[in-house]
Amino acid sequence: MDNSERKFQSKLGFILSCVGSAVGMANIWAFPYRVGKYGGAVFLLIYFMFIALFSYVGLSAEYLIGRRAGTGTLGSYEYAWNEKGKGKLGYTLAYIPLLGSMSIAIGYAIISAWVLRTFGAAVTGKILEVDTAQFFGEAVQGNFVILPWHIAVIVITLLTLFAGASSIEKTNKIMMPAFFILFFILAVRVAFLPGAIEGYKYLFVPDWSYLFNVETWVNAMGQAFFSLSITGSGMIVCGAYLDKKEDIVNGALQTGIFDTLAAMIAAFVVIPASYAFGYPAGAGPSLMFMTIPAVFKQMPFGHVLAILFFISVVFAAVSSLQNMFEVVGESIITRFKMSRKIVIFLLAIISLVIGIFIEPENKVGPWMDVVTIYIIPFGAVLGAISWYWILKKESFMEELNEGSKVKRSDAYFTVGRYVYVPLVIVVFVLGLIYHGIG
C-alpha cells in the first residue's frame, strides 16, 4: 500500500475516524442505562473525571506508540519491548490484545446484525406494529433468523475498508456527522414530550447519596475506560496513520470530548423518553431493542423517529466494526506482506463463519463475557505496562512532544506510570470481581 494511503489526510478525518471507532453500543445502549441505574448526575461527574484522565494519558499513549512504531499492534509491542532487548517477547504478547480485537469483532457483528434487522423493521414500520419483546426474542433465539442481516453487516463493513485509511476517513466523515445530527434531532423532539423534564432532572440534579455507592464509581470508571476503546490494541492503528505534525494529546482529548458528546446526546434521547412513557431508565439490555421502539410507538411521527434512531445506531455499529477489522488486518498485512483486500476478506469470512454458530443470545452472551471480562482488559493491562514501563521514557516523551505546540514535562509520564497503569489493573480486577464493568 502506498504510504499516503496509510495516513489520515486531515486532523478532522483522524478525529472522526477515532470517534467512529470509540462510539458504539457502549455509548448508545450501555451509557444511558448505566446513568439511569447508578446515580444520574453523580455518575456523570465521576464519568467525566475518568474520561478526562483516560483520554489524557491512556488514549494518547496508544496513538503515540502506533505513530512511533509506524505500524499497528504486533509491530508496536515489538518496538516497545525491543528497547529492553525483548522484541520477540513483545511481539508474542501482542497476539493477546490482537485476539481480543478479533474476538470482539465476531460478537459485535452479531449485535450489529440485531441493530440492522431492527432498522429494517423501522423502515417498513413493522417495529411499531409488533410486540417488541417478541420481535427481539426472534432475533436472539438463533435458527439463522439474523443470518441475512449478519451477512449484510459484514459486507457493508468490508466495502468501507477496502481502500485503506483514506476509505475509513471518508466514510467516517459522513457517518459520524450524520450520527450527531440525527441524534440531535431526536433529542430536540424528545424534549417536548410531557414528563421528559423528570428525565432531565435525573440527569442534572445530583443525588449525593450515590457518591458513597461503590458501584457508581466502579461502573463510571469501567464505562469511561471501555467507551474510549483503550484495549491495548484498538487505537494503536489510528496512531500509525497519524501524521507527525499532529499533536497527539490534543487529538486524544478531542476524541474523548466527542465520544462523551455522543454518549450524552444518546442519554438525552433515551432517559427523558423513558421517563415520559414510564419505562425504567435502568432497564439494561432491553432498553435499546424493546423499550425505545415501544416509546416510538406512542410518539407522533414515531415511524420517522424510529428510522432516524436506528440508522444512527447502524452508523455507530459499522464505524466501530471498521476499526476492529482494521486493527487485526493492519498487523497481518504489515507482518506478512499480504494483499490488503485478501486479508480483510479472510477476516470477514472468519468472523461470519464463527459468528453463525454463536448467533443465539445464550451463545454470543458468554462469548462476549469471556472477551470483555478476560481478554480485552488483560490486553489493556499489557498495553499500559508496555507503554509506560517497557518503552523508554525518552522515546515516549520525544514522540509525545512531536508536533505539539506545548512541550509536556516528565510529570505527564509520571501520571501515566503511577496513576493510569494502576487504574488499568484495577479495571481488570474489578471486571473479574463484578463479572464485567465495561
| pLDDT by position in tens, the chain (length 438) | 444 456 777 788 888 888 888 887 778 878 888 888 888 899 999 999 999 999 999 999 999 999 999 999 999 999 999 999 999 999 999 999 999 999 999 999 999 999 999 999 999 999 999 888 889 889 888 888 999 999 999 999 998 888 666 678 888 888 899 989 988 998 999 899 899 999 898 888 889 999 999 999 999 999 999 999 999 998 999 999 999 999 999 999 999 999 999 999 988 988 888 888 887 766 666 677 877 888 888 888 889 999 998 999 899 899 999 999 999 999 999 999 999 999 999 999 999 999 999 999 999 999 999 999 999 999 999 999 999 999 999 999 999 999 998 999 999 999 999 999 999 999 999 999 999 897
- In Å, what is the CA distance from 119 to each residue of 11, 232, 310, 319, 425? 32, 32, 5, 16, 38
Residues constituting the chain: 438
Instruction: Tell me the Ramachandran region of residue 428: left when phi exceeds 0, alpha when psi lies from -120 to 50, beta otherwise.
Output: alpha
Q: What amino acid is encoded at 262 in this protein?
A: A
Task: Provide the terminal-to-terminal Cα distance of the chain, rounded to the nearest Å.
Answer: 35
CA distance 102 to 350: 9
How many of the other CB atoms lie within 10 Å of CB of 192? 11
Q: Which residues contact 164 (CB under 8 A, 6 or more apart)?
A: 1, 5, 6, 340
Q: Are 255 and 19 in contact (CB under 8 A)?
A: yes
Q: Are 111 and 364 in contact (CB under 8 A)?
A: yes
Strand segments, DSSP code E, in 171-302 are: none
The full DSSP string for 240-295 is: HTS-TTS-HHHHHHHHHHHHHHHHHHHHHHHHHHHHHTT--TT-TTHIIIIIHHHH
**pLDDT reported for residue 7:** 73
Output the CA torsion sign for 79, 80, 83, 88: negative
**pLDDT reported for residue 1:** 43
Output the CA torsion sign for 262, 400, 105, 171: positive
Please report how many Cα atoms fall inside a 13 Å half-sphere around the Cα of residue 278, on the Cβ side. 1
The single residue listed with the C-alpha cell 482529548 is 253
The full DSSP string for 95-151 is: HHHHHHHHHHHHHHHHHHHHHHHHHHHHHHTGGGTS-HHHHHHHHHS-TTTTHHHHH
Q: Which has the closest alpha carbon to 84: 386, 425, 434, 406?
A: 386
CA distance 310 to 278: 21
Strand segments, DSSP code E, in 184-317 are: none
The single residue listed with the C-alpha cell 471480562 is 373
Output the CA torsion sign for 179, 14, 34, 101: positive
How many of the other CB atoms lie within 10 Å of CB of 367? 18
Q: What amino acid is encoded at 144 in this protein?
A: F
* CA diameter of the chain: 65
CA distance 262 to 269: 11
How many of the other CB atoms lie within 10 Å of CB of 339? 11
**pLDDT reported for residue 6:** 62
CA distance 328 to 344: 9
User: Is the pTM here over 0.85, yes or no?
Assistant: yes
Q: What amino acid is encoded at 201 in this protein?
A: K
Q: At what angle do helices 302-336 and 147-161 cross, to 10 degrees?
A: 60
Output the CA torsion sign for 271, 272, 274, 278: positive
CA distance 288 to 284: 9
CA distance 215 to 236: 30
**pLDDT reported for residue 2:** 43
